Structure formats: C-alpha cells, structure tokens
Amino acid sequence: MPKSQFMDPDVLRKPGFIEFEPIPVNQYNKTIKEESKNFSKDDFLRIYRDMAIIREFEQMLLDIKTKSEYQGIAYNNPGPAHLSLGQEASAVGQAYLLDKNDYIFGSHRSHGEILAKGLSCIHKLDDKELLADMEGFFDGRTYKVVEGKEKDKGNVKDLAIDFLLYGALAEIFARETGFNKGLGGSMHAFFTPFGIYPNNAIVGGSATIAMGASMFKRINGKPGVVVSNVGDASMGRGPVWEALNMGAMDQITQLWEEGYNKGLPIIFNFFNNLYGMGGQTMGETMAYNFLARVGAGVSPTQLHAERVDGYNPLAVIDAMRRKLDIIHTQGGPVLMDTLTYRMTGHSPSDASTYRTKEEVDKWAEHDVLVNYEKKLVDAKVAKADDFAAMREDIRERMKKIVTLAIDDSVSPRMDLVKNPNIIADLMFSNEKVAKMEDRTPDVLIPKEENPRVQKIAKKERFGFDKNGKPVSKNKVYQLRDGLFEAIIDKFYEDPTLVAYGEDNRDWGGAYAVYQGLTESLPYHRFFNSPISESAIAGSAVGYAMSGGRVIAEIMYCDFIGCCGDEIFNQLAKWQSMSAGVLKMPVIIRVSVGSKYGAQHSQDWSSMCAHVPGLKVVFPVTPYDAKGIMNSALNGTDPVIVFESQRIYDVGEQFHEGGVPEGYYEVEIGEPDIKKEGKDLTILTIGATLYRALDAAKELEEKYGISCEVIDARTIVPFNYEKVLESVKKTGRIVLASDACTRGSALNTIAQNITEMAFDYLDAPPVVVGAQNWITPCHELETAFFPQKDWIIDAIHEKILPLPGYTATHNFTETEQIRTNKKGV
C-alpha cells in the first residue's frame, strides 16, 4: 500500500495484451569438442565420476532394500529410501558450478543432490578448509570414523569423499555418527558446511524455506545463491506457488532500497521426473503441459524459466551457468524445469503400475552414464577402460563405506537407554543471543526520533493513577506498546532482525502493534508480505536457519491452518532434526480474534502446544508482553506469541511501578500470580484472566472465598512449581481459557496437577474452556467463551457448593457425558 505507487485508472483501464517471451525447451546443442573450451579432461571425467558415485550409492541402497545385501555384506535398512537412479546428470550438472556459499535445499529424493553438491565443494575447497570443516563437525565425531582410511593416503580430497559418503550413509542408517546424528535420516540428510541445507519429506516443503534463505542472503548481503530443489509434482502445492510469488514480489525491485533491490538470488529448480509417486504430472495430474510454462504466469521476467535436458550433465551445467549469471546481474528468481527420469520406483515398494516396461526400457537406452561415456570415448577424451577403472574404484570405496556405516562399534545409534534425554535436550537450543550478527543495524532514524517512541514516552506506564483510578485508554501504556517497545529495541540491536506479514508496513499491523515502525526501518527489514501464510512462515524458517532472526506475523490465529506444515512440520522440527546444527530464532506473532465468527475467533494455542519443538506463550498484560517478547527475541528458539485482540489496549494492572522503560525479560515458562488468595486457585491462559479476576472478586465479596489467580503466561514450557504450591495451599483449582475445551492444554495441566497434588485436593481440578462449537457472532459470544459466571457455576457445581447460589450453566456430569457423546 505504498503511496509512492499511484494506481492510475487512466493507465489501468487502457486496453492491450499481455505478451510472453518464448520459453526455451532443451535448447542445448553443443558437442564435446565445442565444450572442450569450458572443460578440461579432468573436468569431463570428474563429471562422470560424480555421476557414477551417485549411481553406485543409490544402487547400493536398492540392493540393501530389496536383497538385504550389497557386495556380499548383509544388512537390513528398515528406513525409507527414495532413490534417484537415472537422475544423476541433473544433480551433478546443477552442483558443478556451486560452491559452499551456495545453498541447496532438497526433497525426499535428494541423495544424489547431497552427494553432487558435496563432491563439487570438495573439488573447490582447499585441503585446509576441508579439514577444518570435517574436524569441526560435531567435534570430529563423523570425521574420526573415516580418518586415515582413504585409499590414496594423505589425499585430503579422497578422504573428504569418504567423509561425505559415510556421513550421508550413516545418517540414512540412523547412526549417531551421521550428518544429523541419525535424527534426520534418508529424507532429511544435510551438511551445512558444504552449503547442503535440509531436504524435506513434505512435498514442496523446501520452496518457501529456500526462498527465506535467499531473503537472508539478499537482506544481509551474503554471497551465494540458493537452490530450491523440489519435484515436478510439488507444483501442485499451494506453498510452492506462494514461494514463487513472494520470491518474485514486485516490492523487492520496486521499493526496497538501493543495494537490496535486486531480485532474490534463488533458483526454483524442479527436478521433473514426470511422476509424483505414480501420478503422471504431464498429461494426468497437472495442467501445465510443460512445467516451465508456470514461470510466465508469475512475473514479467517469466522467472527466466526454461526446460533443461537433465539427461545431459553438460546441458544442465550450461543452463546453470546462464542462470547464475542472470542472478548475479539482474537478480532472480529463476525457474528451472530440469527434465529427468527415475529408473526405479518411487520407493522400493513401488510396483510401477503406472508406466510400461517399454517406457522404462526406452529411457534406459538414454542412460546418462552410458551415453556420456560413449560421447567422451567417441570424442577421444578418454578410453572405455578409464571409465571401467573408475567404476571399479567407486565400488571398492562404496564397500568400505558400507562396512563402516553398518558397524555398530564405530557407527553406534543414539543410546536412549543410557542417555534418555539426548533427543529431549535437542528440542530447544535455549540460547540467549542478543544479536545474530555483530554489525550496525540498518535503520532510518535514531530510535529517540521515532514518533511512536515519543508518543509512548508521554504515556502512563501503570494502569491506575495515584488514587487507584484507571488511567484513560488514550493515556495509558497499552499491551500493544509493550510488544512494540520490545520489538523496536531489538531492531536497533540485531542487524539481521526482519519483520513481515500482511499489512505490517504503513498500516502498522492490523492491530497497530507496529504503528511507527515504518518510520524507523527500511523496506528490506520491514515489509508487507503477500497474503501467503505458508510463504510467510516457511520463509521465516529459511531465514532463521541461514543465520537471521525473524518476526513473522499471522494476522489471525485461524490462519495457522493455512501454514500448518510450515509451523508444525518445519519450524518446530529443524532444530532437533539437525541435531542442534541449526538454530531457529523465529517469532510467529499470532493474533487471537473475537467478534468475527467461526473463522476469525479461535484460540489455537493448544494446537501449537501439542506439537513438540515450539515454545508457546500468551502474554496478557503490558508488562508480560514486553518481558516475554524480550525473552523470545533474545532466544534462539521458535516462539509462537499469541496476542488477544480483546486486550491490545489494556493497561498494566499488576506490576507495581508499571512497565519498566528499560530492558527486562520475563522468563518463558514461568506462570505469574496476578492476585493472591487462600481458598481457591484460578489458573488462566490468555485474556480469560480478566474474566477470572471478575469471578474472583464476586467470590470474595459475596461468598467470602479468597481466590488466588494465576496467569499461565506460557504453555510450553511450563513450570508447575508455583501452581502446585498454590493448589497445595488452596486445595481447589479451576482452569480457564478461551480455547475449545476438548483437547485444550488446560486438560493437560489439570491432569498433571491431579497427579502431583492429589492428596492436597479438595475436589478435582475443573477445566472451563470454550464450547466445542463454531464461534458464533459477537452478539452470541457470551454463550461460547468462558464468562465470569461460568467460572463461578463450575466452582459451585464441581468444587465448592456456594450457599444460596444457583448455577445458570449446566456443569453437571450428565451434561458432560451428553455433550461428549454428541461430540460437542
């Protein structure tokens, strides 16, 4: 919504045509002789060697999967193996020009890509760098297994190839010496020192993440390009389209500042093997006919789309050379449709019911290794014997690697009996890092000159005046100010911090948390995203795993449904799936609505709490909002920050002296006693706190029951000590939140309290959540969300019958059974 861009009807209403440039299809047509200018004999042969290594690696896995042996070595691998036999030329061709600063992200079928990229890096790196990378990785744990076992003794590159093959295979076999200690496995093996970033078992999952990584490179001025390697069938997934669009969004070239206004350095490469499992993309499941066509629909650059013959390594290298040049000169993104073919099934259990033997045989005639060898022999670059010797050498090497990778004494699995907490300890990194990089943050004005900062300076930082009267909304320091203060402080501290989401810039966020931020920050640090929740969350994952810090905003909690994969499968998992190699300093700000009906008023904090790997917080006072946001921003873990739209304007009512101006942290995981009492505890999550306080007041005034009100503040992690202490004192507890009761995190808390304080309880803990319905319109909301009188009713019916009290809501056991029976 920049005012600088004028939407002129005189122009926009003019007739005309949108014109497209022709999209090249397999245009490469050079002979070996012509290519001799670009490749030495060694280069030609190394390309063959790399393809042959991939071929042997995948054949070895196929033998193990289907025959439980390889070269006479018996082994059973129960894990997955999505093999890329037939796709070797595509992988090697792509990697040939890439170095360690270039990142590749892959799919479930990426063994070949990992090896090709690794081999390319090994060729380019000098011995010193290679040794440092190997020795430095997990304190040399992987390196020690292969150290000194290279065939050509003392040859570091030879050793590094052993290291690469071993690290990948040990990972596939779930060994602790693998690249990710066995926590990634076949579909998630990667090795960041060589620029090999996570592969992804979610189809198309890498597209948004890779786009985020390319944002990191552009915004922070890092060298290298990013390649998103996904399959042709992933073009059927919304997040992939979101990534293409957001990666190519106009503002980058039109609005971002000088130095940052070149298109993102990303190649959206699709290894087009014509099938998504068995679904034939061309002719059956997709509409594009040629995948490369899609580029023309995304942006005026047509994403420089092209179909490349992925069965010829030289054609792919040629294309990569041209595409890298485009990225370096004009900027990306680039779309590549790399045609290839997988000779084996989707997985070893695939019966190939969807294609004929004739088709497979025909592609076998085009076999990349056979044909490439023939061309080189014909061109007299090398003799057939040279290739045979190379293959024999590779088989010998592969036998050595397999022997090591299946040997439990050198390649053990994680010992979860001896060390039961290994994985638990990897779920969060729990570090405190004030800034992800040490340089001056790029800002537009000094913080003191920021209009919002100046406005806040005039506000009352406590909600009540000297006489105990509430300060008016206009004068009081509000919850949104607490969030803003923490965020703007971090923007002036951490140069990598970026924030984006829908309507963030100019508008200041739908609920004015970001109001005033536009004035301080350049576009490339603070911008409006397309309405693409998958791309927002997914790019944040990629940005963070590349080394940056992000605040991504999901405007309504309900929209988490649009980015379920990115939050639950990607954001939550990469720290632990990388065995701690990757950090994930991502804040997802989520606004919980009310007043807007079934699709805009849900509290899904419980849903987020259910998925391991996410920290989930829900601050509801200005003091907590600033303190928790500070903690989240200073940490290295993904934190989902829930904010309630009911209370953005609430003043601080609890923290004496009001919200401090300086920096402070509220530790994530610590509930807070908002009101002390002795007869009954009310624990709340979210804005329900204020209704609970009203209930406490009535219970105290009318029935003489002194209530202790505790605000959970955080759902994951959660320290029970304070709550248990309270329950042991009062003997009674009601738990309330606006989340639907069924599956609410409150039930988990109630269960734990029951287990740990049973002997102190005078009644079972009672959960008061929202109805298991759709959220109705605002006028009917009091029948849906827990209200003050619900809490009192529940106490009366289930905990402590109140003299003379008549419940108005049905909290009887019969009702509980009835509603559950009906599923409501």
Partner 1 sequence: MATPVIMPRQGQSVESCIIAKWHKQKGDQVNVGDQLFTYETDKATFDEEATVAGTLLEIFFEEGDDVECLLNVCVIGEAGEDASQFRPAGEAEEAAPQAEAAPVAEAAAPAAAPVAVSDVAKDNQFISPRAKARAEKLGVDIRFAEGSGPKGRVIERDVEALAQSGVAFTKAAQAEAAGSADKFEGTGIGGRVTTGDLKRPVAEAVAEAMNAQEGVAYTDVPLTNIRKVISKAMHNSLSSTAQLTLNTSFDATEIMAYRKKLKANAEKLGLGNITLNDIVLYAVSRTLLNHQDLNANMLDDKMRIFNHVNLGVAVDTPRGLMVPNIFCAELKTLSEISAETKELASACQGGTISPDLLNGGSFTVTNLGSFGIESFTPVLNAPQTGILGVDTIVQRAKEVNGEIVYYPAMGLSLTFDHRAVDGAPAAKFLQELKTNLENFSVLLAK
Catalytic sites, residue numbers: 600
Q: Least distance to partner 1 from the beta carbon of 799, Å? A: 7
Contact flag: residue 346 with partner 1 (CB under 8 A): no
Q: Least distance to partner 1 from the beta carbon of 564, Å? A: 40
Q: Which is nearer to partner 1, 240 or 757 (CB)?
A: 757
Task: Give me the phi and psi of 275, to 5 degrees please.
Answer: -135, 140
Kindly tell me which residue out of 763, 776, 781, 789 binds partner 1, with binding defined by CB under 8 A: 763
Q: Which is nearer to partner 1, 325 or 762 (CB)?
A: 762
Contact flag: residue 756 with partner 1 (CB under 8 A): no
Query: In the block, which residue shows the tokens 């990013």?
Result: 226
Contact flag: residue 758 with partner 1 (CB under 8 A): yes
Element holding 792 (H helix, E strand): helix 788-794
* CA contacts within 13 A on the Cβ side of 504: 26
Region near partner 1 per CB under 8 A, out of 509-517, 520-528, 568-576, 792-800: 792-800
Q: Which is nearer to partner 1, 361 or 755 (CB)?
A: 755
Contact flag: residue 724 with partner 1 (CB under 8 A): no
Q: Which is nearer to partner 1, 100 or 732 (CB)?
A: 732
Kindly tell me which residue out of 95, 324, 800, 807 binds partner 1, with binding defined by CB under 8 A: 800
Contact flag: residue 677 with partner 1 (CB under 8 A): no
Query: In the block, which residue shows the tokens 């997988």?
Result: 342
Contact flag: residue 104 with partner 1 (CB under 8 A): no
Region near partner 1 per CB under 8 A, out of 32-40, 157-165, 191-199, 791-799: 791-799
Structure tokens at 142: 């992987």
Query: Is the preceding omega at residue 717 within 30 degrees of 0, hence cis?
Result: yes
Region near partner 1 per CB under 8 A, out of 3-11, 235-243, 309-317, 797-805: 797-805
Contact flag: residue 797 with partner 1 (CB under 8 A): yes
Contact flag: residue 608 with partner 1 (CB under 8 A): no
Contact flag: residue 304 with partner 1 (CB under 8 A): no
Q: Least distance to partner 1 from the beta carbon of 798, Å? A: 5
Nearest to 296 by CA among 21, 704, 614, 687: 21
Kindly tell me which residue out of 762, 778, 810, 820 binds partner 1, with binding defined by CB under 8 A: 762
Q: Which is nearer to partner 1, 346 or 732 (CB)?
A: 732
Q: Which is nearer to partner 1, 267 or 794 (CB)?
A: 794
Taking the C-alpha atoms of residue 824 and residue 808, their distance in angstroms, rounded to an integer, is 19
Q: Which SS3 state, helix, strand or coil, does residue 484 take?
A: helix
Contact flag: residue 354 with partner 1 (CB under 8 A): no
Query: In the block, which residue shows the tokens 């390697």?
Result: 229
Region near partner 1 per CB under 8 A, out of 87-95, 303-311, 405-413, 757-765: 757-765
Taking the C-alpha atoms of residue 208 and residue 607, their distance in angstroms, rounded to an integer, is 22
Contact flag: residue 798 with partner 1 (CB under 8 A): yes
Give, as ranges, the residues between 730 and 749 that touch partner 1 (CB under 8 A): 731
Number of residues that bind partner 1 (CB under 8 A): 12
Is the Cβ–Cβ distance between 753 and 821 less than 8 Å? no
Kindly tell me which residue out of 282, 760, 776, 781 binds partner 1, with binding defined by CB under 8 A: 760
Region near partner 1 per CB under 8 A, out of 271-279, 484-492, 599-607, 799-807: 799-807
Structure tokens at 656: 């004496």
What is the residue-wise DSSP string for 17-31?
A: ----PPPPBS-----
User: Sheet holding 226-231: strands in order across?
Assistant: 103-105, 226-231, 266-272, 334-339, 306-309
Contact flag: residue 804 with partner 1 (CB under 8 A): no
Region near partner 1 per CB under 8 A, out of 328-336, 348-356, 359-367, 760-768: 760-768
Q: Which is nearer to partner 1, 353 or 814 (CB)?
A: 814
Region near partner 1 per CB under 8 A, out of 256-264, 549-557, 754-762, 779-787: 754-762
Is the Cβ–Cβ distance between 246 and 124 less than 8 Å? no
Reduced 3-state DSSP string for 165-213: HHHHHHHHCCCCCCCCCCCCCHHHCCEHHHCECCCCCCCCHHHHHHHHH
Q: What is the largest CA-CA distance in the chain?
A: 103
Is the Cβ–Cβ distance between 713 and 619 less than 8 Å? yes
Is the Cβ–Cβ distance between 604 and 715 less than 8 Å? no
Contact flag: residue 25 with partner 1 (CB under 8 A): no
Contact flag: residue 6 with partner 1 (CB under 8 A): no
Kindly tell me which residue out of 477, 799, 807, 809 binds partner 1, with binding defined by CB under 8 A: 799
Taking the C-alpha atoms of residue 423 and residue 416, their distance in angstroms, rounded to an integer, is 8
CA 348 to chain centre: 29
Taking the C-alpha atoms of residue 54 and residue 239, their distance in angstroms, rounded to an integer, is 30
Region near partner 1 per CB under 8 A, out of 382-390, 595-603, 627-635, 758-766: 758-766
Contact flag: residue 759 with partner 1 (CB under 8 A): yes
Nearest to 411 by CA among 730, 149, 214, 80: 149
* Dihedral of alpha carbons 447, 453, 458, 461, sign: negative
Q: Which is nearer to partner 1, 8 or 813 (CB)?
A: 813
Contact flag: residue 579 with partner 1 (CB under 8 A): no
Nearest to 574 by CA among 209, 115, 246: 209
Q: Least distance to partner 1 from the beta carbon of 728, Å? A: 9
Is the Cβ–Cβ distance between 505 and 528 less than 8 Å? yes
Contact flag: residue 815 with partner 1 (CB under 8 A): no
Taking CA 149 as the corner, what is the angle to CA 144 and CA 150, rounded to the nearest 5 degrees?
115
Contact flag: residue 494 with partner 1 (CB under 8 A): no
Query: In the block, which residue shows the tokens 């679904």?
Result: 279
Q: Least distance to partner 1 from the beta carbon of 732, Å? A: 8
Q: Which is nearer to partner 1, 391 or 798 (CB)?
A: 798
Contact flag: residue 801 with partner 1 (CB under 8 A): yes
Is the Cβ–Cβ distance between 252 and 264 less than 8 Å? yes
Q: Least distance to partner 1 from the beta carbon of 756, Å? A: 12
| Total residue length of the chain | 824
Taking the C-alpha atoms of residue 26 and residue 595, their distance in angstroms, rounded to an integer, is 56
Query: Is the preceding omega at residue 333 within 30 degrees of 0, hence cis?
Result: yes
Q: Which is nearer to partner 1, 134 or 800 (CB)?
A: 800
List contacts with partner 1 (CB under 8 A): 731, 758-763, 797-801
